[in-house]
Structure 1
Amino acid sequence: MYDVRQHPEGAWGGIDMRLRRGACSATTAPRTTDGTSRRRRRSATALLAAGALAMPCLAGCGSDDEVSKPLAAQDILPAGRDLVAEGGTLKWAVDAVPQTLNTFQADADTGTSRIAQAVLPSLFRLDAGGRPVPNPAFLESAKVIETEPRQVVLYKLNQQAVWSDGREIGAADFLAQWRALSGKNSAYWTARNAGYDRIEKIERGASDLQVRVTFSRPYADWKSLFSPLYPKDVMGAPDAFNDGARRKLKVTAGPFTLDKVDTARKDVVLTRNPRWWGRPAKLSQIVLHAVPRDKRAEALADGSVDLADIEPADAERIGLAARNTVNPLQGAGRTSVKKLRAWALAHGFDRDRAKAGQKKLRTAIATYLDEQQALRDFEVRKSLEPSYTQLALNGSEGPLADERVRRAVARALDRKELAKLVLTPLGLPAVPVGSHLALSGQPAYADNSSAIGGQDTKEAEALLADAGWVPGGPIKEQQQKKKGQKAAGPQSDKSHKGGRGDKSDGGRDGQYIVGEDNQNNQNSQNNENSDSSDNNDDNKSGGRGDGGDRHLAQQGEHGGAPGAYAPKGTAAPGAPPTAPLAKDGKPLLLRFVLPSGSGSRTLYSVAERISAMLERVGIRTTITKVPDESYFKDHIASGDYDLSLYSWPSSAFPATDDRPVYAKPVPAADGSVNVEQNYTRVGTDQVDQLFDQAAATLDEGEAVSLIRRADSRIWAAAGSIPLYQRPQLVGARRNLVNAGAFGFQTPVYEDMGFLKKGAKASASPKN
C-alpha cells in the first residue's frame, strides 16, 4: 500500500501503498496480509479547485447478491505437516532491514509487518478470500454481545496464550494498546489510531481470559483492532512505544521469537519459540535478509535467500534455467564478440554490460551461466497481490480540475488492453479491476466501473468539447527533438519540479512530449538506430538502441526480457491521433510523472500505452521521469503531477482504511488544504457520508451495500481509475513448502519448511 510503500518496489508498474493506506512507496511497496487496519496518517497540503461531480449509475452498478472469486489462487506448494522436515533455516528476502519493529509507527514497512506476523499475537488474520477470520492460537471466540446502549465486544482468549516471559495475555495488554493508540496522548508517536479512537473502555470479563471492549459509537470494523497486539511493556509508556520497540522486542508471543537485528549483515533473525503453545514451528529459524530488487536472481543463485519476490525479468531467468540455457561459450571455434553481445542482450544484460570488451563479456556470460545452473533449484510461484495499480488524476488545478476532462481521460482508456499488456505475458488473468475498495474474491467487490462507462472515443471527445477544448487554436509548436537527444531517462538536477502542464522542448533528461509529429519522431529514431553497427546489432538481437524507451515500449522488449512487460512485437495503438486540443490559446497538455528506477519498466510501458490512447482524443502528455526516492514525497504527496501511476492495497476493512484515501480535502487552520491520503485531491461529501455510515453499521450486508455505493461515486468523480491487480511473482526453492505467492492469505509461519527427503507435495495451482 512508496503500499504510496516508501521503497522503490519493482516491476509491477506502480507505486504500491501496500503497507498501509497512506504509506506510500514508489515502484513496489511492501505488503501486509495480516488482517490489521492499514490506516497510516500522512497528510499533504495543496490548493483545491474542483467542480461539481456528476453521479450516474450510483445506486448499485452491481447486485448486492453477487459473489466474486479471487482471480488467481495462491501458489505456495501446500504440504501436510507430516511431509515437512523438522528444522532448517528459511532465508527470505526483504527490501531493507526495518527501521522500526513497531507497526504503528510511520516508518514501519513490509519487514516490520512480516516480523509482527511471526512473533506477535494477531486476533484475526485473512483467509484466501481476504476475509478476517479468528486466529485460534489466540482466540476461542470474539463477538458482539451488546449493541444498546453501547456496542460491546467480548474476547475469549486461548487459555494457553502467554507471552515469552510466561505472563498470560490479557486485559492489561488490550488496555495499554488502546490508551497508546486512542489519539488522546500526543506523547505517543503513533501513525494511526482508526478504531481505537472509538473505544470507550476496556475491562476484564468474568475471568482473566475474557476481555470486554465497549465502544462509544458503533464500529463495524472492530475485527481490525488488536492485530498485532503488543505487550503492555511496549504500549504502557511513551518512551517504550516511541523508542524501545524500534530495534528490539523483549517480550513476544508467536511461533517465533525475535533473536536479533543485525544491521551489518542486513539480517533479522527469528528463532522458533520454545514457549509456543500452538502447532510447533517446523523451521528452526527464519532469516529476513535485505536484498535490492534488482539483485534478487543473483541472491537466489548464490544461496543468500531461498524465497524472494521477484520481477518479471528474474522470473524469465528462472524459466530459462529450467530449460537449460544454451552456452554460447562452448562449441568449435571462438564465438565472435558481435554474437556474444547479441546473446547477452537477449538474455537480459543491460546495454553497458553487453558492450564490454570480449574478455569481460565472456567472464560476465560465464558468471551468468553458473547462476543459471544454480537457479535450476528454484521455481516461480505466481498469483495476484491484494493490491491494484491505478491511474491517478490530480484534480486540484489545471485541466483536470474540470470533472469533464477527468471523465474524458477515463473514457479514452481501454482498461482491458492495459491489463493484458501487464498480465497476459505472465500467464495471469488479465481482468481489469472494477472497484476502488475491494478486489475480486472479497465480500465488498462489485464491478462499478459502469458508473463512468467503458472506452468510448466519441464520448471522450464530446466531454472535452463540452469543457471548451477544441481542435486548433494558437498552440505554440514544440521544438522537434534533435538527433542524439534522449527520449526518456533519469531526470536531471536542473529539471523543473513544479509547473504542471509545462511544455517540454524534448531535450531535457527525463522529459519528452507524447503527441508531437509521430512520423518525424519515428524517422529520427530510425536514423539514430542506424548510426553505428553496434546499435544495428543490438536492435536485431532484441536489445536496446539509441531510439530510447519509447521505441522499446513499442517493441515489448526491456532489458532483454522479451514478453516480460508486453507481448513480444506488440506495437503501441496505431489509430490516427486527433488534432491537438486547445482552450483560450493553451494546449491540452498533461504532465505524466513516473519514477525512473530500473523496477519501473512495466510502469513506463503502461504509461506509454495510456499516452497513446489519450493522443487519440487530442490529449497530449509530457512524460517526466523522476528519482524513485523523490517520486512520492516530492510529486505525488505534494501534488506536483497531472497523471501518475501507483498502487493501493486492498483492505479487509474498507470503511476504515479507505476513507482517508478518498475523503474530500478540507481547509486546514493555516489556510492550506488537508488532503489526508487523497493524493488526487478529488472527493465529495456523499462519499464521506457513505464511508461513515458503513463504519457505523453492524449489519454486514448493509455495510457491503454502502461500500459499493461509495465506490460508484468514486468512479463517477474520476479522480483515479483502477487498472489491474498487481502480479505477484515469487522465486522459491523447489523443496520449500507452504510458502510463496500467498495472495490474500496471511502466511502461516509454523507450517513453512522444507520437504522431507523423498516426500512429494501437492502441485502448485496453475492460473
Structure 2
Amino acid sequence: MSHHGVGLRAVLRPAAFLTAGVLAVPLLAGCGSDDDVAKPLAAQDIALAARGQVADGGTLKWAVDALPETLNTYQADADTGTTRVAQATLPSMFRMDATGRPVADPAYLESAKVIETEPRQVVLYKLNQQAVWSDGREIGAADFVAQWRALAGKDTAYWTARNAGYDRIEKIERGANDLQVRVTFSRPYADWKSLFSPLYPKDVMGTPDAFNDGARRRLAVSAGPFKVDKVDTAAKDVVLGRNPRWWGRPAKLDHIVLHAVDRDKRVSALADGSADLADLDPADAQRIGLAARDKGGSAPLQGGKTSLSNLRAWARAHGFDADAVAAGKEDLAKSISRYLDQQRALEALDVRKSLEPAYTQLALNGAAGPLTDERVRRAVARALDRKELARLVLTPLGLPAVPVGSHLALSGQPAYADDSGALGAQDTKAAQALLADAGWVPGGPVKDGKKGQKAAGPESDREEKSDGGTDGEYVVGEDGKGDAGGRHLAEEGRHGGAAGAYAPKGTAAPAGAKAAPLAKDGKPLTLRFVLPSGPGSDTLNTVATRISAMLDRLGISTTITKVSDESYFKDHIAAGDFDLALYSWPSSAFPATDARPIYAKPLPAADGSVNVEQNYTRVGTDQVDQLFEQAATTLDEDEATSLIKQADSHIWAAAGSIPLYQRPQLVGARKDLVNAGAFGFQTPVYEDMGFLKKGAKAPASPSRG
C-alpha cells in the first residue's frame, strides 16, 4: 500500500519468561536495543549510473502483472501499475528514501513543517515556484482543498479507499502567497507527511464523477517527468511519454510502457525483447543466472549422438515439465534447442536483487477453533524456528537470512526494533508447557465424529487439494487496496513481485521426532493450513511444510488445504476461513496510521457483524489500540517511535501473527538499463532511468560484488 513509495498507502509487519501461559509483563515495554538500530539488510540494486552516462531517448518496456483497473490510487482496486503511473506522472510531497524514511521532494516542495501546535496544529507547505500542471496551471491550494474534501470521508458520493489523516483536517487556506498552503488540523496528527502523496489535480478530485470514473482510464493533467499518453486495453499497455512541461531534470527516456505479462511468460518476454525489466520468481532468476555463467550450455546436443535417456536427464535437471521430458527424442531435442537459443538471449540480462519493503508472516486465526486460546497461539509461535525459515527462503538467493523482529517496521527504519522477546524464542519445552496448561495432552483416544472410530494421526491428516489458480505473492494492503471503511485493503489474491517463499526444488523437511498427537475432550489438536495453489506455489508450500514439521514435534497436526488464487484472499483470509495462513504486509513509514487497522481490536458493527478492518487474524487488544492512537497524536517523533515499539511488543505477545522474513525482490533487467531494478525502500527516480550510452561502462551491482 505505498502511494509514491511512502508507507502502506500505495499496499500494507533473552526471551520473555512464560509460566502457565502468563506472559511476563515487564518485557512488554520493548525488547530491542536502541543502540542496535540496524541499517537496511540489503542495498538497492538498480545499476546506479550518473545521468551523463545515460543516453537520451529510448523506450523502457516494463512488465507488470495486469493492466491497471484504475489510474486513481485512492480507489479500492488500485494496484502496482496504478502506483507506478502515479509515481512517474504526479506530484508527491514526500517520497521514501533508501532507509524507508519520508523525505520532502524538492521538485514540488521548498519546505513543509509544523509552524503552530496551539490551539491547533498547522502545517505550512511552501511549493516549488516552478511546479505546474501539464496544462500550465500552477500547483496550489485549490488542489490541496479538492483532495482533502474528496478524501475526508464526509461526502459518500466519493468512492474512496481511505480517509486516514484527511479526516483530521479542519481547513486548508492559501498562505502569504500562491506558493504557500496552510493546513490546519482539528486534532494533532503525527503522520501529516503521509498526506498529499500523490497529489491529484482539482480536475480529478473536484467532483465525485471525475474522481469515481474520470481518472480510471485517463489522466488528462499531470505534473511529473512523464505524462499518460494512452491506456491501450487491447495491447495491455499503459504508455507514458516525456512531459514537455516538466521543470525538473528532463527524463532520459522518451517513453515508459507498462506492459501486462503473465509471470510464467516473463523470461520469454525478456529473451525476445518484448520486456526490458520484470519482477521474477526465483526459478526464473536462477535460469538467467545460469545463462550468464554457462554461455548457452549446448553440451547435451553436441554431435547429435546423445541418448534419449541423457536428454531426458538433462531436461529434468533444467526444469522441463513432465510432458516435455516424456516426448520422443526428436521432439525433446527440438525443445532443448529452443531452450538453449533462449538461454543465449538471456545472456544480455542481469538479475538485480534486494529485499522488498514487505515481510511474510504466519497468520493465526484467533476467532475460531483451538487458536482462540492465546496459550495455543503462543505455543505455535514458540515452536517455530524463524531463523531456519529465513534461511530456507533467503540463503539460496544470496540474500541476508535474518528473521523480521517487528510487525510495524523493517530493519533500517526508525521504528524498527526486534521486539520478539515479548513472546519468546523457539523453545519446545515452553511450548509444551503452554499446551498442557491449555488442556492439550499427548496420547489417548480421540473421536473423529464417527462412533467408535479413532482419528488418524498426523500423516493421514495431511490434506492436499488443488483447484488451480496462481500463487504469486500475497502482499496484503499494497498499492492502494481499500475497503468501504476508508482504509487500505489487499488486492484479493495476487500482486506483482516474487513468490512469498522460496527454496530449491526437492528441499526436504528437517529430521525430527514427532510427538504423540495432542488431544482435549476427545478431539485432536489439528490446525487447517490454507495455502494458494497453481504455478509458483511450490516454494510457498515448502515453508508451510517446514512449519507443519515443526508443529508435528509438539503433537500438533496440520491439514494443508490448497485453494485457487482467486479465492485465497477473498474467501479464506478476509473471511476468516483458516487456522494458519501465509501472506505478507508491506512496511510503512507511518505505522501509527497505516498499521493500526491491521492490529485493531475487532468490534461489533451496527448490523450485528464484527468489524475486523484489516485485522484478518481477529486478534487485538484495547492496549494496542490506545498505543496506536497516542503515537498518531504526539508530535514528538521520539515519543511516537517509543509508543510504536511498545505496541509492537504487545502484538508479539498476543501471537496473532508471527513475522518470518523480509521478502526477496528479484528483477530481470537488460544489462545496459540503468537506474532501475530492485529498488528496495526507495521511490524510483523515473527521470534518471535509461540505457547506457555506447561505450559507457556498466556499473557494478551490489548483489554481484
Match for residue 319 of structure 2? 348
Code of the aligned partner of 1:725: Q
Code of the aligned partner of 1:645: L
Does residue 73 of the first structure (1) align with residue 73 of the second (2)? no
Pick one of 650, 656, 662 that aligns with 1:719: 656
Moved more, 363-372 or 432-441: 363-372
**Distance in 1 separating the partners of 2:284 and 2:589:** 31
Does residue 765 of the first structure (1) align with residue 705 of the second (2)? no
Q: Cα gap change, 1:482/1:57 in structure 2, threshold over 3 Å: closer, same or farther?
A: closer
**Distance in 2 separating the partners of 1:150 and 1:480:** 63
**Distance in 1 separating the partners of 2:568 and 2:506:** 30
Please list, as runs of the form range in 1=range in 2, the aligned pairs for 1:304-323 lying within 5 A after superposition: 304-323=274-293
Quick check: 2:40–2:411 contact (8 Å CA) kept in 1?
A: yes
Query: Match of 1:573, SS?
Result: coil
**Distance in 2 separating the partners of 1:266 and 1:37:** 27
1:639 CA drift (Å) = 0.3
Match for residue 587 of structure 2? 650
Does residue 280 of the first structure (1) align with residue 239 of the second (2)? no
Does residue 600 of the first structure (1) align with residue 571 of the second (2)? no
Pick one of 694, 701, 707 that aligns with 2:644: 707
Code of the aligned partner of 1:709: Q
The aligned length equals 658
Match for residue 230 of structure 2? 260
Match for residue 547 of structure 1? none
**Distance in 2 separating the partners of 1:473 and 1:487:** 23
Please list, as runs of the form range in 1=range in 2, the aligned pairs for 1:519-538 lying within 5 A after superposition: none
Q: Cα gap change, 1:698/1:368 in structure 2, threshold over 3 Å: closer, same or farther?
A: same
Match for residue 214 of structure 1? 184
Please list, as runs of the form range in 1=range in 2, the aligned pairs for 1:373-522 lying within 5 A after superposition: 373-475=344-446, 476=448, 477-478=454-455, 488-491=464-467
Pick one of 684, 691, 698 that aligns with 1:754: 691
Code of the aligned partner of 1:442: Q
Match for residue 501 of structure 1? none
1:370 CA drift (Å) = 1.2
1:67 CA drift (Å) = 2.3
Quick check: 2:458–2:552 contact (8 Å CA) kept in 1?
A: no
Query: Match of 1:331, SS?
Result: helix
Match for residue 514 of structure 1? none
Q: Cα gap change, 1:278/1:122 in structure 2, threshold over 3 Å: closer, same or farther?
A: same
Query: Match of 1:710, SS?
Result: helix
Code of the aligned partner of 1:455: Q
1:179 CA drift (Å) = 0.1
Code of the aligned partner of 2:635: L
Quick check: 1:382–1:729 contact (8 Å CA) kept in 2?
A: yes
Query: Match of 1:214, SS?
Result: strand
1:448 CA drift (Å) = 0.2
Q: Cα gap change, 1:222/1:480 in structure 2, threshold over 3 Å: closer, same or farther?
A: closer
Q: Under a length normalisation based on structure 1, what TM-score does the superposition of the two structures give?
A: 0.83
Pick one of 504, 508, 526 that aligns with 1:571: 508
1:573 CA drift (Å) = 1.8
1:295 CA drift (Å) = 1.1
Match for residue 194 of structure 1? 164
Quick check: 1:53–1:717 contact (8 Å CA) kept in 2?
A: no
1:320 CA drift (Å) = 1.0
Q: Cα gap change, 1:170/1:749 in structure 2, threshold over 3 Å: closer, same or farther?
A: same
**Residues 384-405 of structure 1: CA deviation (Å, up to 9, x unaligned):** 0000000000000110000000
**Distance in 2 separating the partners of 1:408 and 1:741:** 37
Does residue 332 of the first structure (1) align with residue 298 of the second (2)? no
1:451 CA drift (Å) = 0.4
Code of the aligned partner of 1:113: T
Query: Match of 1:57, SS?
Result: helix
Does residue 239 of the first structure (1) align with residue 209 of the second (2)? yes
**Distance in 1 separating the partners of 2:359 and 2:430:** 26
**Residues 567-613 of structure 1: CA deviation (Å, up to 9, x unaligned):** 57753121110000000000000000000021222210000000000
Please list, as runs of the form range in 1=range in 2, the aligned pairs for 1:619-658 lying within 5 A after superposition: 619-658=556-595
1:351 CA drift (Å) = 1.9
Query: Match of 1:598, SS?
Result: coil
Q: Under a length normalisation based on structure 2, what TM-score does the superposition of the two structures give?
A: 0.90
Does residue 611 of the first structure (1) align with residue 548 of the second (2)? yes
Q: Cα gap change, 1:98/1:568 in structure 2, threshold over 3 Å: closer, same or farther?
A: closer
**Distance in 1 separating the partners of 2:701 and 2:298:** 30
1:367 CA drift (Å) = 1.6
**Distance in 2 separating the partners of 1:570 and 1:310:** 20
Q: Cα gap change, 1:689/1:53 in structure 2, threshold over 3 Å: closer, same or farther?
A: farther
Match for residue 92 of structure 1? 62
Match for residue 178 of structure 1? 148
1:631 CA drift (Å) = 0.1
**Distance in 1 separating the partners of 2:690 and 2:587:** 28
1:765 CA drift (Å) = 1.0
Pick one of 671, 678, 700 that aligns with 1:734: 671
1:366 CA drift (Å) = 1.7
**Residues 644-676 of structure 1: CA deviation (Å, up to 9, x unaligned):** 000000000000000000000000111111100
Quick check: 2:282–2:666 contact (8 Å CA) kept in 1?
A: yes
1:164 CA drift (Å) = 0.4
Q: Percent of aligned pairs with the same residue?
A: 77
Please list, as runs of the form range in 1=range in 2, the aligned pairs for 1:140-151 lying within 5 A after superposition: 140-151=110-121
Quick check: 1:37–1:225 contact (8 Å CA) kept in 2?
A: no
**Distance in 2 separating the partners of 1:308 and 1:492:** 24
**Distance in 2 separating the partners of 1:408 and 1:170:** 55
Match for residue 602 of structure 2? 665
Match for residue 361 of structure 1? 332
Quick check: 2:365–2:580 contact (8 Å CA) kept in 1?
A: yes
Quick check: 2:68–2:78 contact (8 Å CA) kept in 1?
A: yes
Quick check: 1:737–1:753 contact (8 Å CA) kept in 2?
A: yes
1:335 CA drift (Å) = 2.5
Quick check: 1:33–1:744 contact (8 Å CA) kept in 2?
A: no
Pick one of 126, 131, 146 that aligns with 1:156: 126
**Distance in 1 separating the partners of 2:375 and 2:507:** 32
Quick check: 1:73–1:743 contact (8 Å CA) kept in 2?
A: yes
Code of the aligned partner of 1:371: Q
**Distance in 2 separating the partners of 1:376 and 1:749:** 26
**Distance in 1 separating the partners of 2:169 and 2:301:** 71
Query: Match of 1:420, SS?
Result: helix
Match for residue 508 of structure 1? none
Unaligned runs of 5+ in 1: 1-18, 21-31, 42-50, 494-563
1:492 CA drift (Å) = 8.5
Q: Cα gap change, 1:654/1:132 in structure 2, threshold over 3 Å: closer, same or farther?
A: same
**Distance in 1 separating the partners of 2:393 and 2:259:** 28
Unaligned runs of 5+ in 2: 13-20, 449-453, 470-500
Q: Cα gap change, 1:55/1:298 in structure 2, threshold over 3 Å: closer, same or farther?
A: farther
Quick check: 2:93–2:104 contact (8 Å CA) kept in 1?
A: yes
1:358 CA drift (Å) = 3.0
Quick check: 1:195–1:222 contact (8 Å CA) kept in 2?
A: yes
**Distance in 1 separating the partners of 2:462 and 2:529:** 17
**Distance in 2 separating the partners of 1:353 and 1:468:** 53
Quick check: 1:254–1:276 contact (8 Å CA) kept in 2?
A: yes
